[in-house]
Amino acid sequence: MHVTVVGNPGHRRVTLFAAAAVRAGLSEPDIVSWRDVLTGVPLRLRPGTVVRVESPGEDAEVDRLLRGAVAVAEPGEIVGGRAWYTGFAAALDRVAYTAREQGASLLADPAEILVMFDKAACHARLLAAGIPVPAALPGSPASWAQLRSWLDETGWRRVFVKPCHGSSASGVIALQLGSGGRVLATTSVELSGGRLFNSLRVRHYRDERDVAAIVDALAPDGLQVQRWLPKAGLDGRVVDLRVVTVAGEPSHVVVRGSRSPMTNLHLGGVRGDLCALRAAAGRHYAEGLDTCRAVAARFPGSLHTGIDLMFAAGWRSHAVAEVNAFGDLLPGLLVDGRDTYDAEVAALLTRTGVAA
């Protein structure tokens, strides 16, 4: 069996998966670059090869091509989310067409990847399946004024505002509305000259004019607004879980803890003690993993998923915040001596029934 990876050459996601394939006795995977996919370079896949689609992120030129923009964005700039999604859909379509034409098979269903990259569509799929998710507004607000009006109508005072097609907490706002018109927005967004940038520092905006400027800039690309679920805490931090499923089963779990509402590790979150969390959650931990199995079953064409699972304060209930198509990058996390990529390669070999 041979594997081809569609990704950004040299990116750690590509190199870590390639290393796992070699450890399993497979040959070094072929690499098809996203730049070639996006610029119309003829693509060549070996007949019978299995194609893994990797994240196109962290490459400024690939980002430009996906958005159909004339120039690359400034480092960290948040721009063109809807255009990016449209370009990504077209790129996935080209990969799928090439695989069909050249006798290759895909490790993930492109349609499922696209659902995972559309927070509103993903939320709707899980809700329809009876999977616990936070309540959400039924539409995407067109402006800060409309968002405030909708929140006043629902009576919600604490919400998470998320770009529909963002990732890695890009553009996410933890919003709190207080008495007397007070506003507190916690976010990694840096507002500079009317433009938005990702930052590694979590900021707090209390001036409604700033919050309005951020929301108004994000709204044209689509927003999903989820009611804030007060999370359980450990060691003075709120926590949630990134659960990676492989072949439908929970494989690797990371506890993410933070003293701010944003638990992402690149925003100052820390890895927590899974044993301590399991002890605190008791039988509810197993219930949470059962929910992750149910989530994976909603994406049967995907070898792996990355699920953000939240336990509510008191641990008795939980909800799924997001599902990530490329949520398996957990460097250094080993289960039975295997990282996430080792587990995925092993599942692939089992699925195909072909020895390395």
pLDDT single digits (tens) 106-145: 999 999 999 999 999 999 999 999 999 999 999 999 999 9
Per the DSSP assignment, residues forming a β-bridge with 190 are 197
pLDDT at 254: 97
As a whole number, the mean pLDDT across the chain is 95
> By C-alpha distance, which of 342, 337, 268, 254 is closest to 304?
342
pTM: 0.95
Per-residue model confidence as pLDDT tens digits over 20-67: 999 999 999 999 999 999 999 999 999 999 999 999 999 999 999 999
List of long-range contacts for 70-77, beta carbons under 8 Å, 24+ apart: 74/195, 74/197, 75/197, 76/190, 76/197, 76/198, 76/199, 77/195, 77/196, 77/197, 77/198
